[in-house]
């Protein structure tokens, strides 16, 4: 009988703790929301129109899609990291768009200066 | 299989397992490269905070790699660290371009200022030139008005002189024979009226006539000049006639000078018998040839 009690206790512990262990990582709601917001921001600044930024944006979208699948499969930690990866890709896309604009602006300004100098010193 | 062989096989498998477990995943290798590149580039200067975040993320991945046997976690952390390093680089380049843009804009403003300054100088010079032109124009206008005034005065004076000359000519016509030819107005006085035969002393009657002539000449154009020409007939010697004609011309000149005709306005010439106006064969012709002519020359111009 004591053996039986021990086995029943062990089974009870496993039955309770195992599901708890699987659910120990919470659903990555915040990281998913942040990633989705970053992707949206990248789209709004025009990442689609800048080749390097468009690549990062595409990666971010794919990672969000992957994270959603992982959430459905209750793989919350992996989903969380996919969301973080998506955020970092989307943030980089935004920065690349800004960099491109700054570069074009600098080139245009330099060209204007060249023209102005040519006019001032004929 | 001996015990030694078994131990050797187990040891080899363990070594291989350890070695495999400590090979960094490609994400971590990429992250290290990305961070090294970022830390040596403009991010060090322009985005040190972002670079620090990348460093922290990489350190986390390295710690995970060293302490835990969780390759998936290392890969995820390394991927994020790599992106943070790339983000720091991108942001640094953006700042660099923006500063370049600012520098270009400043340079552009400077050039525009220079251009504006030059334009202002040119404008001022143009205004000065315009003012100078206006002054010159005003001066020219004044001068033109003055000239016009002078011309009007001159015209008036000329008209007055012409009127006086006409009046003088009319007066002279009453006194003596007057005609106009290319030399000017010719007043012819008969030699018989002025002088006794072969003499050059004026007769009393001549003086009365010459008084009237002097008055008429003085009333005429004040700028006119006079030439007194003495003429004889062909009787007698030519040289004597020449001398006589000059003496008579001088006698008339002297008389007119005594009667207020300015000496520098009047000259005397003797033409002897050379310029006869009539036939010397008849008494009447010779009488006409014996004469004194006063040529009134109008002012030049």
Flag whether pLDDT at B16 surpasses 80. Answer: no
Residue A122 binned pLDDT confidence (cut-offs 50, 70, 90): low
Q: Are B190 and B285 in contact (CB under 8 A)?
A: no
Flag whether pLDDT at A23 surpasses 80. Answer: no
User: Which residue of B98, B104, B119 is the best one to mutate when testing the A interface, meaning the one whose CB has the most A CBs within 10 A?
Assistant: B104
Q: Which one of B72, B76, B108 has the shortest CB-CB distance to A109?
A: B108
Please tell me which residue of chain A has the smallest CA distance to B75.
A81
Does ipTM top 0.90? no
Mean pLDDT lowest among A104-118, B7-21, B150-164, B246-260: B7-21
Q: Which one of A78, A82, A96 has the shortest CB-CB distance to B90?
A: A96
- Do the Cβ atoms of A81 and B100 come within 8 Å? no
More confident call, B80 vs A121: B80
Q: Which one of A84, A102, A113 has the shortest CB-CB distance to B94?
A: A102
Q: How far is B126 from chain A (nearest CA, A)?
A: 19
Residue A13 binned pLDDT confidence (cut-offs 50, 70, 90): very low
Q: How far is B82 from chain A (nearest CA, A)?
A: 9
**Backbone phi, then psi, for A77, in 5-degree steps?**
-65, -45
User: Which residue of B75, B97, B112 is the best one to mutate when testing the A interface, meaning the one whose CB has the most A CBs within 10 A?
Assistant: B97
Q: Which long-range contacts (CB under 8 A, 24 or more apart) does B44-49 make?
A: B45/B92, B46/B91, B46/B92, B46/B95, B46/B96, B47/B88, B47/B91, B47/B92, B47/B95
Res B96: pLDDT: 92
Flag whether pLDDT at A7 surpasses 70. Answer: no
Res B162: pLDDT: 77
User: Which residue of A59, A88, A101 is the best one to mutate when testing the B interface, meaning the one whose CB has the most B CBs within 10 A?
Assistant: A88
Mean pLDDT lowest among A7-11, A50-54, B135-139: A7-11
Residue B267: beta bridge partners? Answer: B227
> What secondary structure letter does DSSP report for A108?
H
User: What tens digit of pLDDT does each residue of A90-108 get?
Assistant: 999 999 999 999 999 989 9
Q: Which one of B94, B101, B114 has the shortest CB-CB distance to A95?
A: B94
Q: Are B18 and B44 in contact (CB under 8 A)?
A: no
- Does B113 reach chain A within 8 Å, measured CB to CB? no
Res B48: pLDDT: 96
User: What tens digit of pLDDT does each residue of B33-75 get?
Assistant: 999 999 999 999 999 999 999 999 999 999 999 998 789 999 9
Mean pLDDT lowest among B18-32, B174-188, B279-293: B18-32
Q: How far is A26 from chain B (nearest CA, A)?
A: 16
Flag whether pLDDT at B8 surpasses 70. Answer: no
State which H helix or E strand residue A115 sits in: helix A76-120
Mean pLDDT, chain A, rounded, equals: 85
Q: How far is B74 from chain A (nearest CA, A)?
A: 11
More confident call, B116 vs B19: B116
- Read off the pLDDT of each residue in A38-61 and give the average, rounded to a whole number: 97
B residues 76-95 near A, CB within 8 Å? 76-77, 79-80, 83-84, 86-87, 90-91, 93-94
Mean pLDDT lowest among B17-31, B138-152, B239-253: B17-31
More confident call, A71 vs B121: A71
Q: Which one of B93, B107, B118 has the shortest CB-CB distance to A113?
A: B107
User: What tens digit of pLDDT does each residue of B134-167 get?
Assistant: 899 898 888 888 888 888 888 888 787 778 777 7
Q: Give the whole-angstrom CA distance, residue A72 versus residue B266.
A: 141
Q: Which pTM was predicted? A: 0.50
User: Which residue of A81, A119, A121 is the best one to mutate when testing the B interface, meaning the one whose CB has the most B CBs within 10 A?
Assistant: A81
From chain B, the residues in CB contact with A110 under 8 A are: 100, 104
User: What tens digit of pLDDT does each residue of B189-232 get?
Assistant: 888 888 888 888 888 888 888 998 898 888 888 889 999 999 99
Q: Give the whole-angstrom CA distance, residue B232 versus residue A110.
A: 106
Three-state SS for chain B is CCHHHHHHHHHHHHHHHHHHHCCCCHHHHHHHHHHHHHHHCCHHHHCHHHHHHHHHHHHHHHHHHHHCCCHHHHHHHHHHHHHHHHHHHHHHHHHHHHHHHHHHHHHHHHHHHHHHHHHHHHHHHHHHHHHHHHHHHHHHHHHHHHHHHHHHHHHHHHHHHHHHHHHHHHHHHHHCEEEEECCEEEEEEEHHHHECCCCCCECHHHHHHHHHHHHHHHHCCCCCEEEEEEECCCCCCHHHHHHHHHHHHHHHHHHHHHCCCCHHHEEEEECCCCCCCCCCCCHHHHHHHCEEEEEEECCCC
């Amino acid at each position: 009988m004591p053996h039986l009690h021990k086995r029943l206790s062990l089974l009870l512990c496993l039955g309770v703790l195992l599901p708890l262990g699987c659910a120990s990582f919470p659903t990555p709601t915040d990281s998913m929301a942040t990633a989705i917001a970053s992707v949206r921001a990248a789209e709004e600044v025009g990442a689609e129109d800048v080749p390097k930024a468009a690549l990062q944006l595409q990666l971010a979208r794919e990672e969000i899609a992957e994270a959603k699948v992982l959430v459905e499969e209750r793989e919350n930690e992996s989903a969380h990291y996919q969301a973080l990866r998506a955020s970092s890709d989307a943030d980089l896309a935004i920065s690349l768009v800004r960099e491109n604009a700054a570069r074009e602006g600098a080139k245009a300004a330099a060209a204007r200066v060249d023209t102005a100098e040519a006019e001032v010193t004929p | 299989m001996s015990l030694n062989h078994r131990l050797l096989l187990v040891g080899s498998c363990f070594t291989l397992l350890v070695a495999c477990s400590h090979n960094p995943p490609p994400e971590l290798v990429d992250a290290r490269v990305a961070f090294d590149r970022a830390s040596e580039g403009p991010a060090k200067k322009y985005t040190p905070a972002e670079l620090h975040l990348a460093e922290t993320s990489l350190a986390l991945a390295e710690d995970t790699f060293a302490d835990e046997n969780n390759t998936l976690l290392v890969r995820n952390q390394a991927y994020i660290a790599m992106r943070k390093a790339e983000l720091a680089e991108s942001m640094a380049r953006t700042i660099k371009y923006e500063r370049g843009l600012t520098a270009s804009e400043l340079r552009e403003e400077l050039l525009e200022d220079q251009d504006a300054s030059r334009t202002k100088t040119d404008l001022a010079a143009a205004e000065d030139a315009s003012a100078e032109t206006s002054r010159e124009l005003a001066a020219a206008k004044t001068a033109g008005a003055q000239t016009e005034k002078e011309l009007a005065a001159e015209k008036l004076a000329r008209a007055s002189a012409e009127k006086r000359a006409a009046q003088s000519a009319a007066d002279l016509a009453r006194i003596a024979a007057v005609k106009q030819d290319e030399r000017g107005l010719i007043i012819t006085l008969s030699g018989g009226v002025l002088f006794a035969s072969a003499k050059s002393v004026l007769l009393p009657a001549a003086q009365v006539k010459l008084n009237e002539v002097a008055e008429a000449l003085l009333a005429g154009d004040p700028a006119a000049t006079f030439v007194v020409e003495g003429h004889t007939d062909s009787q007698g010697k030519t040289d004597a006639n020449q001398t006589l004609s000059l003496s008579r011309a001088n006698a008339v000149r002297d008389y007119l000078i005594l009667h207020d005709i300015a000496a520098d306005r009047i000259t005397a010439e003797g033409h002897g018998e050379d310029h006869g106006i009539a036939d010397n064969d008849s008494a009447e012709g010779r009488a006409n040839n014996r004469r004194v002519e006063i040529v009134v020359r109008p002012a030049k111009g």
